[in-house]
Amino acid sequence: MNSVLLSIILIPILEIYLFIKIGSQIGAFNTILLIFVTAFIGVYYAKYEGLNTIKSGFLQMIKNEIPAYEIISGAAIAFAAVLLIIPGFATDFLGFLFIFPITRKLIFGKFSKKFKDTKEKKNDFIEGEYEDIEDNDDRKV
C-alpha cells in the first residue's frame, strides 16, 4: 500500500483516538480550547522562527555562502505551521518538533551538510613572480 495513502488513513484515526482519550481526561471544552491555543501559539512562533530564518539566510548570502540549512529550515517551518493549524494533538506534536530550532537541527542537520561549501576549493590561479624584460635587453627568454 502506498505510504501517502496509508498516512491519510492512519493520521485521522490517531487524531480521533487522541481526541477521545484526552477529552475524557480533561473534558470536551478544555480539549477544544487546547487545540485552539496550540494553533495560535504555534502559528505565532512559526512566524517568529520564519523571520529569524530569513535573517540568517541573508547573513549567509552576505558571507557568500549557500544558505542550505536556512532553505531546509524555512520549508520545515512552513510545514510545521500547516501541521499546527490542522486540529489534532499528534500533528501539533510533530509541528512543534519541526518548529523548535534544536529539534530542527537534529532532524535536518545531516541534510544541510551535503550542500555546504567546503573550504577545499580548487584554485584557478598559479602563484609566481614575474619580471618585465625590455626588448633592448640582451636577456631574452
Q: Would the CA dihedral through 90, 93, 99, 104 be positive or negative? A: negative
Q: What is the pLDDT of residues 69-115, one digit of tens each?
A: 888 888 889 999 999 988 899 999 999 998 888 888 888 766 656 65
pTM: 0.69
Helix, strand, coil percent content, the chain, rounded in steps of 5: 70, 0, 30
Q: Which of 74, 59, 63 is nearest to 112 (CA)?
A: 74
Q: List the grid coordinates of 17.
A: 483516538
Condensed to tens digits (0 to 9), the pLDDT of residues 15-74 reads: 999 999 999 999 999 999 999 999 899 889 889 988 999 999 999 899 988 888 888 888
26, three cell numbers: 480533561
Contact 94, 83 (CB under 8 A): yes
